[in-house]
Structure 1
């Protein structure tokens, strides 16, 4: 599968080898990580990806993506799908960036790219969530076009829905 490109970022579909490197804390040959990568969330996502690959095979295109800056190729975070498209046409997403690059709009840009990609693949609803205290993540989802869809004692839920009409896919 090809990389997804946004204005400043490359969303690179993670391979098994790359995920193993994230879990081990060792970048692969030619891969450059930004300071602070991988975060604990990146390791959890890489482990989940490896478990899915072992259980049912590679989930791409609905797997895990490394977020790389186009300017220098450094991996600054990750995002992706928590599983395949459900029977109702929905997916759940997650994302994160290393602290040193937060506040620059990268997360919203990456999420917009992933949402456009999901829509182009026939997804009709994307869901996400953030702890009540995580205002930055809530802002990322609203900046990417998602809307509050409810909450419970600890988490606020967001989603975006489409009528099933396909959008143009990000450049690849």
Structure 2
């Protein structure tokens, strides 16, 4: 699996080396980046990806991605899978954009591409969640085709699922 390309974005799949630099808060200097990038969530996602690799699950991890605008190549956020798919083919996703890139539809565009990838590689269910007051994230998941499936006093839970995985697909590969 490599980079994903959408109409306005390049979703760059992070290598271990790139994730290590991001986890240290020092992404590659050769890449243009928004002044607010990386944010705490980007660093945490890189660490989660590296932990999965260190535990020997890196080959099955569907990836952590840096969101870059195609028009100028600047990194504006990240998205990816928290872990490899579980035994039922289910994964949880996360995403975030720097404040200056929010409200332009980038997160929904990126999430749609990630959902398409998940389906293509045999993942059967993608889950996400957002606090009740995070209406922007709720709108992103809804716009990308995820549906509200549950909520508690603090969080709303979303998911999308498919029953038609490609023949022979191994979740996360």
**Pairwise CA distance, 1:36:** 0.2
8 Å contact 2:123–2:165 — kept in the other structure?
A: no
SS of residue paired to 2:55: helix
TM-score by length of 2: 0.90
Instruction: Describe how 1:45-124 pairs up with structure 2 within 5 A.
Output: 45-59=45-59, 62-124=62-124
Contact persistence 2:9–2:110 (CA under 8 A): yes
Deviation >3 Å, runs of 4+? none
Distance 1:61 1:73, change over 3 A: farther
What corresponds to 1:163 in structure 2?
163
Tell me, in whole angstroms, the C-alpha distance in 1 between the residues paired with 2:51 and 2:2: 22
Task: Tell me the TM-score normalized by structure 1.
Answer: 0.91
**Could you list the per-position Cα deviations for residues 93-134 of structure 1 after superposition, in whole angstroms to 9, with x for gaps in the alignment?**
000000010000000000000000100111121110000110
Contact 1:8 1:70 in 2 (8 A): yes
CA 1:3–1:88: 2 relative to 1, 3 Å: same
Question: For 1:134 and 1:103, how far apart are their aligned partners in 2?
Answer: 13
For these two proteins, the number of residue pairs brought into alignment is: 166
Please state how far the C-alpha of 1:29 moved relative to its aligned partner: 4.3
Partner of 2:22: 22
Distance of 1:129 and 1:31 partners within structure 2: 30
- What's the RMSD between the two structures over aligned residues? 1.4
Which structure 2 residue ranges, 5 or more long, are not aligned?
167-173
Question: Which whole-Å CA distance do the structure 1 matches of 2:57 and 2:72 have between them?
Answer: 31
Which residue of structure 1 aligns with residue 4 of structure 2?
Answer: 4
Structure 1 unpaired stretches of 5+: 167-172
Deviation string 1:136-155 (CA, Å, 9 cap, x unpaired) is 00000000000001011211
Distance 1:62 1:165, change over 3 A: closer
